[in-house]
Amino acid sequence: MNELLILVPILLISGVVAGLLAGLLGVGGGIVIVPMLYHIFIYMKIDISIAMPLAIGTSLSTIVVTSIISARSHHKKGGIDWELSKKWIPFVILGVLIGAFSSKFIDGNSLKFMFGVLLLLVSMNMIISSFKTLVIAKSLPGKFGQFIFATLLGIFASLLGIGGGTLMVPLLSLYSFPIHRAVSTASLFGLIISIPATIGYIIVGWNAESLPFASTGYVNWLAFAVLVPMTMFFAPYGVKLAYKLNVKQLKLAFAIFLTCVGIKMLIV
C-alpha cells in the first residue's frame, strides 16, 4: 500500500492523459493505463503472471467510467451511429466474454507481448493515417463480415484492456466512416466492452495469490480510485478538443511514444 501511495502522482498524471485521449483521439485510455500500471506493479515486485492481468483488469474498470462520460458527451453532439451499434452490440459482448475468460489460460509474458505488438500496430496506423487516409471500401461488409469484426473487437479489446476505440476507430475509418463519427461510436463500445470484461477479470482472478492491497480479482481499487476522477474530469475536454483541433501533430507525437513503449514491452 505504501508503495502505491508513493506512486499516486504518476497515477494522477496518467489519468489526465487517459481521459483526454479517450475523447480526443478515440484510442481509449487503456493504451496509457495498461503499460503504466504494469510497470508500477512490476516495480512493486509483483510477478508478471499477476502484474499483466491485474493491469488489464484495472484498466478496464477505469474505462467503464471514462466511457460513460465520453459517450454521453458524444451523444449530445449527435455523433454516435446507433444503427451500427444495435447490430454490433450482441457480437461484441460475445467476444468480450471469450476474451476475458481466455485470459485465465494465457500467461503474463504472452499478454505483455501481445500488448507490445498492439502498441506498434496502433502507432503505425497513426503515423500512416496522419499523412494519408486509408480506405479499403466505401461501406462495411455484409452481416457475416460485421459479425466477425464485432466478435474480434470484443475479444482483443477485453483481452488487452483497451476498451474499444483503439481498434474500432481505425477499423471503421478503413470503411469510409467519418473520423468524428467513428470516435463517437467507439466511445459507446468502450462502455459495452468494459463492463462485462471487468466482471470477467474479477471472476478469473478471484483466487489469485499475491495480489496487492485493495484488489478484487484482477482489479485494484486503489489505482481505480486515483485514476477515475482524473479520467472523468478530462474526458469531456478531450471531446471538445476533438471538434476544434487539427490533431495531426499530436497523433504523430503520441505514435512515437507508443512505439517506444511497445518496443520496451516486447524486449524487457
Give per-residue pLDDT as tens, 101-110. 888 888 888 8
Residue 201 has pLDDT above 90, yes or no: yes
CA distance linking residue 66 with residue 58, whole number of Å: 13
- Give the pLDDT confidence of 206-260 residue by residue, as tens digits: 988 889 888 999 999 989 998 888 877 887 787 777 777 666 776 777 778 778 8
**Measured between alpha carbons, how far is 38 from 69 in angstroms, rounded to an integer?**
25
CA Rg, the chain, in Å? 17
Q: What is the mean pLDDT of the chain?
A: 84
- 59-103 pLDDT, tens digit per residue, is 999 888 878 877 887 788 787 889 899 999 999 999 999 988 888
Q: What is the pLDDT of residues 131-166, one digit of tens each?
A: 777 788 888 888 899 999 999 999 988 888 887 777
CA-to-CA distance for 178 and 12, rounded, in angstroms?
Answer: 32
Q: Is 117 helix (H, G, I), strand (E, B) or coil?
A: helix
CA distance 59 to 29: 8
Q: What is the pTM of this model?
A: 0.85
Average pLDDT over residues 31-38: 85
Q: Can you give the pLDDT at residue 26?
A: 58
Angle between helices 30-43 and 248-267 (to 10 degrees): 30
Distance CA 196, CA 94 (A): 10
| Res. 199 pLDDT band, cuts 50 70 90 | very high
Rounded distance between C-alpha atoms, residue 197 and residue 59, angstroms: 10
φ, ψ of residue 254 to 5 degrees: the values are: -70, -35
CB 21 within 8 A of CB 32: yes
Whether the predicted pLDDT of 52 surpasses 80: yes
Supply 5's cell numbers.
Answer: 501511495
Q: How far is 255 from 249, CA to CA, in rounded Å? A: 10
Measure the CA–CA gap between 251 and 249, rounded to whole angstroms.
5
Rounded-to-integer distance, Cα 252 and Cα 127, Å: 6
- The crossing angle, in degrees rounded to 10, of helices 48-76 and 221-242 is 40
Q: What is the pLDDT of residue 1?
A: 61
pLDDT of residue 203: 93
Which residue matches cell numbers 462520460?
69
Let me know: does 172 contact 134? Beta carbons within 8 Å: no
